[in-house]
Structure 1
Amino acid sequence: MSRTVQIVFDAAEPAKVGDFWASALGYVRESPPEGFDTWPQALEAFGVPEALWDSADAVVDPDGSGPRLFIQKVPEGKTVKNRVHLDIRVSARGDDREVADAAVLAEAERLESIGASRVEWREGMGSRWLVMQDVEGNEFCVT
């Protein structure tokens, strides 16, 4: 049996979170269904009230190899640490620490330019990573 994986984020502003992760991962906004030029056209045809058009967003890997990220609007804000998070790997296992840290710091600077913030460096089991937060405070790691 074949399976696919979709990762779901809760958010106050789905499009803002979608924009961040599309930029962070080199993803693109998911195209509207076949037969529609825009999402508003599709949503209107599906009978979705206009007041709900900003309730979700989705970004996808343009190569089709990575998981779809679906971002859904929720009324409550984030209050505790994520139980699941993404890791963005920019260094290779076996890189010496100086090379790996330089790659991580370069990526951190790029991610900060699109709205991320640094939290702290962590180490364990022979690895080192930088914990960051996306535009709504969801933690992720750069390693």
Structure 2
Amino acid sequence: MAVRIDLTLDCADARLLAEFWKTALGYVDEPPPAPFTTREEWLAHLGVPEDDSADDGAWLCDPDGVGPGLSILKVPEPKTAKNRLHLDIRVSGHGGPEERWERIRAESERLVAAGGKVLVEVDGHHVVMADPEGNEFCVAATSP
């Protein structure tokens, strides 16, 4: 039996990255677990120190319940190296290689407008990008 996974992304500014990744993935803010009505209540229940704020984290989910959850947590240390794990954002649609490349380029342009940065274009195949804090991810097409 497969297990469900969630992903956690360390960051310096959780709000900034939450907005970027909601735009990139179509995710929404995940509500706090029941019976809590706010993240602050939930964090207090966990015994998180009072100087830690709900603004130090963001919890996102796929509104359709299909994709993994994404936790974005503020940490004190900066990013220092290339990610060992990265996300691939897959654009869907049919057509030949030219049409797929056009969709990949259009999606990468949309994500640049949201605050991302193009690092490398592997012509005709995928675009390596970085989010506003430099976390790498790729934009590619779904399998033909």
Please report how far the alpha carbon of residue 2 of structure 1 lies from its aligned counterpart in structure 2 after TM superposition: 4.8
Please report how far the alpha carbon of residue 46 of structure 1 lies from its aligned counterpart in structure 2 after TM superposition: 4.4
CA offset digits 1:19-60 (Å, max 9, x no partner): 211111111111012233322233345443342113322111
Look up the match of 1:133: 130
CA offset digits 1:54-91 (Å, max 9, x no partner): 33221111111100111222211112111110011114
Look up the match of 1:30: 30
Look up the match of 1:58: 59
Look up the match of 1:6: 6
Any stretches of 5+ residues in structure 1 without a counterpart? none
SS at match of 2:91: coil
Q: Match of 1:110, as an amino acid? A: R
User: Are 1:68 and 2:65 matched, yes or no?
Assistant: no
Any stretches of 5+ residues in structure 2 without a counterpart? none
- Distance in structure 2 (CA, Å) of the matches to 1:47 and 1:9: 22
Please report how far the alpha carbon of residue 133 of structure 1 lies from its aligned counterpart in structure 2 after TM superposition: 0.5
SS at match of 1:89: strand
Q: TM-score, normalised by structure 1?
A: 0.85
Look up the match of 2:87: 86
After superposition, where does 1:89-128 map in structure 2 within 5 Å?
Answer: 89-91=90-92, 95-122=95-122, 128=125
Sequence identity of aligned pairs in percent? 45
Count of aligned pairs between the two proteins:
139
Q: Match of 1:112, as an amino acid? A: V
